[in-house]
A and B are shown apart, each in its own frame.
Chain A
Amino acid sequence: MTELLYRQLGLTDDEYQRVCDTLGREPNRNELAMYSVMWSEHCSYKSSRVHLRKLPTEGPQVLVGPGSDAGAVDIGDGMAAVFKIESHSHPSAIEPFQGAATGVGGIVRDIVSMGARPIASLDPLHFGPLTDARNRWIFEGVVAGIGQYGNSIGVPTVGGEISFAEPHTANPAINVMCLGIAPADRLIPSRSDTEGNLLVLIGATTGRDGIGGVSVLASATIEEGSEENRPSVQIGDPFTEKLVIEACLELIEGDLLAGLQDLGGAGLTCAVSETAASGGMGAEIDLDLVPKREAGLEAFEVLTSESQERMLAIVEPAKLDAVLEICRRWGLLTAVIGKAVPGGRVTARMDGEIVVDVPARSLADEGPLYERPMQAPDRARPSASDPTKRDIDVREAFLRVLGAPNIASKRWVHEQYDSLVQAGTVVGPGADAAIIRVPGTQKGVALSSDGNGRYGSLDPYLGAAHAVAEAARNVAATGAKPLAITNCMNFGNPERPEVMWQFAEAVRGMSDACLAFDTPVTGGNVSFYNESGDSAIWPTPVIGMLGLIDDYHLVVRTGFAGEGHGIYLLGETAAEFGGSEFAEVVLGEIAGTPPALGLAREHSLHELLIDAAAKGLLASSHDCSDGGLAVTLAECSMASGLGFDVALPGDLHPLEALFSESASRAVVTATPENAGALESLFDGAGVTWLLIGVTKGLEMKFAGVFSIDIEEVRSTYEDAIPALLEGRSA
């Protein structure tokens, strides 16, 4: 019977044997359930760890690196920015609203469990095309779920890119990112290291929801009939989450906690074993003391339930009364469920009997580790065609690209998010990077999330490097200095050698780019098994970049800021259409290779943008990426309602000048008074630059090519997504 059970729970024969060897006996049913969740791909990173090790993770700015609930970066004045990204793709694929909502809940608790107040969220989302009814259902449900949960807990949602691609039809990539702020000396460890300290469960009751969420759901592919796994999706209660946040922050402020960890994937099993293992302790818990949602829960259910809105606090006995009083004041349920004991074993009792007795480290740290086979695909990618040889109307192509769902306005989404609460949002959704001011200071934290699956599908190394470069460029475009990243690796089935090769390549690309920009990796998440049948998602590493600007009053915005400002194109443009938005939308192809990326050149551009912003020389600034120069100029123009008159670089075909996605470029403007100083700065930085025109009037004018009213472009840009949702043609 047991043999069948371990396979059902997702353990292999070898892994089961390893459990038996660890224990010196066969595990009982409860222990088996615990190993199956802790050794799942989602919790143990068994396929990815050998690769992730190669990432750069150190730097003077890093206060807490990978391995904690979230990373932490020094932002000066004794403050830490705490941030982390996670995926909630599998639950969202089968129950979009709750899947996405509980994703937000989980990442927010990760930030709180570090001792930080969550001050902003970003949600990078990748869906299948909205022409499909089921994709619309997923899209609307995910957005509503994020909105409902994030809005209810009072954490502003300030950005996150949204894209659409066929491979996401069955497998949306739903990533959630959160930023918190805390005094650096008050970060709380997720550790139980003192004998006799009490384990206090705070928050919601424990029920049967989310059992096996990390194993049968998150660590397996989505197939026909996956809807039957809906009970593995957790149900969110943002009201309780809000109380948990406020109570925990009050406990931390009162110096009442020795440790804190949220209950997320793998529930109580994970929280108890990880806190014990990292503190070199064991733990004794009594499952009868866990507040339950219903009678009759079995031990393994209590141990692996992923019921939301629960935290495990490690409390010195002398401080228990104060802890309970604060939780009572916030109307929260609390229960002392056990204590830290020496010896390193986790034991659990139920009905007076010992039902679990295992080494904590064997669950948390000593899971299997795989070097899975890797194989580059042998099929040749079709080469990209040359659009300049074709008869393409430039004006029409311009409108098609601006109205493509990947490029078009995401206002329909952003307006469903409260982006203002906490009164810190200097720049909100829809910009290159969001800027959140640090309470009580002039500082601003910049946040951007970027991932480009299309580039990744053509070259996973370049796809990842581009994602880091674009995220850093977005941050630098505002004037903030990129400091560190968190990452969410969205991939297919790691048991397939091609997927594993993609993963290794992406890690290599990310690593090279992070080293070049001095933006170490502070943590992240790996989401494998994003495939159905033989169709996997494109390799999509999503990069969450965190930056800092010393004075948020100096933040430079996207929109043109006044008439008669010189418009400069920074960087070099070549005919690079591989994987571009134009190639997909106008040529109908995803082919060739992504644009080349010179990391040193890219870094010089970042430094230049930051320097020019600090000197106050930029009137506006915008990164040039998806959709090329055409989209960049149009966005600058629509952001402020001010037009432009530009002459495209003469040595290029207009299609190349407008739609090539050559990397390491930006468009900035300057007032006539600042033009001279800015041009000297360009020359000194060794960045290629070209004065291409001037801000002017109410139309977008590409001299000698075409002109168009801003409002005509705006209506295409704004209406594209609402039209798709309403089944109209835009």
Chain B
Amino acid sequence: MTKVGVITFPGSNDDRDALHAVELLGGEPVSLWHADADLHGVDAVILPGGFSYGDYLRTGALARFAPALASVRDFAERGGPVLGICNGFQILCESGLLPGALIRNRSLRFICCWVDIRVESTDALITQDLRAGDVLRIPVKHGEGQWVASEDEVKRVEDEGLVAFRYCGPDGSIDDEHNVNGSVGNIAGLRNARGNVAGLMPHPEHAVDADLGPTGGKPLLAALIAHALESVG
């Protein structure tokens, strides 16, 4: 069974929900601790949502110094699958594993709602079973989810096809109305060049259980579990 580790930082909130989702989808959830550099032999790592270190200094800025994160960096370099969700995405950007940065939402308010995201690249480990253009219904809940980068960086990200997801309408249309936080290019999530590292602001772990709502997160986490063992180099 695929062992999926979820790192708990001080201030992580969705760590238990991610563990629960992994279990629900048939993976073996493994709880990891920020201060422990040992990843305990997991096949994939999730950096969960929440407010690690209270979001103090900047979102994700302190978590990147955690001992566990140094190990995550090595793990990712060896091809190990890493998924950053919300605060986890912010941590991946802060630690340079993914480009750009996340700043306060355009509205300057926290937003919790269901959105649609369109799959842009199927070269990420978590999107390889989907088709470009697929629309997933999934919730966001963040105050700082507006993805930004320098013009050059944005161009590189677009040219290299590193955009994994964009905010869209229910029919997949990309427009400003559905850009929930004002991200450049409606970008909701990114992958690295190799495809083993991905991050997104929406919460797939909160969209896996039909008892609670739509299940647009299910294919992403299912792919993480299904393909993790193929991935580690």
Chain A residues within 8 Å of B, Cβ to Cβ:
144, 147-148, 151-154, 237-240, 242-243, 330-331, 414-426, 437, 552-553
* A-B residue pairs in contact (CB < 8 Å), sample of 14: A144-B109, A144-B110, A147-B110, A151-B143, A152-B11, A154-B12, A154-B14, A239-B10, A240-B54, A414-B112, A419-B112, A423-B206, A423-B212, A426-B211
Interface SS of chain A? mixed
Q: Is A238 in contact with B51, judged by CB distance below 8 angstroms?
A: yes
Nearest neighbor of B35 in chain A, beta-carbon distance: A329
Which residues on the B side are within 8 Å of A425 (C-beta)?
A: 212
Given contacts A151-B110, A330-B10, A552-B211, contact A422 B54 (CB under 8 A): no
Q: Tally chain B residues at the interface, Cβ within 8 Å.
A: 30
8 Å CB contact of A242 from B51, B56, B203, B205: B51
- Which 8 residue pairs are nearest across A and B when measured between Cβ atoms? A239-B54, A154-B13, A423-B17, A152-B51, A418-B141, A420-B206, A416-B110, A147-B110
Does B55 sit at the interface, judged by CB under 8 A?
yes
Apart from the given pairs A239-B54, A420-B139, 4 other A-B contacts in the complex at a CB distance below 8 Å: A147-B110, A238-B51, A239-B55, A422-B17
Does B178 sit at the interface, judged by CB under 8 A?
no
Scan B25-56; emit 1 where CB is below 8 A from any A CB, else 0.
00000000000000000000000011101111
Scan B75-107; emit 1 where CB is below 8 A from any A CB, else 0.
000000000000000000000000000000000
Nearest neighbor of A442 in chain B, beta-carbon distance: B211
A330 to B49, CA, bound (A): 18
Nearest neighbor of A427 in chain B, beta-carbon distance: B212
Q: Is B55 in contact with A152, judged by CB distance below 8 angstroms?
A: yes
Which residues on the A side are within 8 Å of B141 (C-beta)?
A: 151, 418, 420-421
Nearest neighbor of B50 in chain A, beta-carbon distance: A154
8 Å CB contact of A239 from B11, B16, B110, B205: B11
A147 to B143, CA, bound (A): 10
Does B20 sit at the interface, judged by CB under 8 A?
yes
Give, as a whole number of angstroms, the nearest-CB distance from B109 to chain A: 6
A424 to B206, CA, bound (A): 10
Most chain B CB atoms below 10 A, which of A239, A330, A331, A419: A239
Give, as a whole number of angstroms, the nearest-CB distance from B102 to chain A: 16
Give, as a whole number of angstroms, the nearest-CB distance from A247 to chain B: 10
Does B209 sit at the interface, judged by CB under 8 A?
yes
A420 to B113, CA, bound (A): 9
Chain B residues within 8 Å of A, Cβ to Cβ:
10-14, 16-17, 20-21, 49-51, 53-56, 109-113, 139, 141, 143, 203, 205-206, 209, 211-212
Which residues on the B side are within 8 Å of A424 (C-beta)?
A: 212
Nearest neighbor of B203 in chain A, beta-carbon distance: A420
8 Å CB contact of A237 from B20, B54, B206: B54
Which residues on the A side are within 8 Å of B14 (C-beta)?
A: 154, 421
A25 to B49, CA, bound (A): 57
8 Å CB contact of B20 from A153, A331, A423: A423
Q: Is A242 in contact with B11, judged by CB distance below 8 angstroms?
A: yes
Nearest neighbor of A154 in chain B, beta-carbon distance: B13
Give, as a whole number of angstroms, the nearest-CB distance from A280 to chain B: 38
Give, as a whole number of angstroms, the nearest-CB distance from A422 to chain B: 7
A393 to B50, CA, bound (A): 50
Which residues on the B side are within 8 Å of A147 (C-beta)?
A: 110
Which residues on the A side are within 8 Å of B13 (C-beta)?
A: 152-154, 242, 418, 421
Given contacts A420-B139, A421-B17, contact A331 B50 (CB under 8 A): no
Which residues on the A side are within 8 Å of B143 (C-beta)?
A: 148, 151
Which residues on the B side are within 8 Å of A437 (C-beta)?
A: 211
Give, as a whole number of angstroms, the nearest-CB distance from B178 to chain A: 15
A309 to B179, CA, bound (A): 37
8 Å CB contact of A148 from B110, B112, B203: B110
Which residues on the A side are within 8 Å of B12 (C-beta)?
A: 154
Which residues on the A side are within 8 Å of B209 (C-beta)?
A: 423
Q: Is B112 in contact with A415, judged by CB distance below 8 angstroms?
A: yes
A154 to B203, CA, bound (A): 14
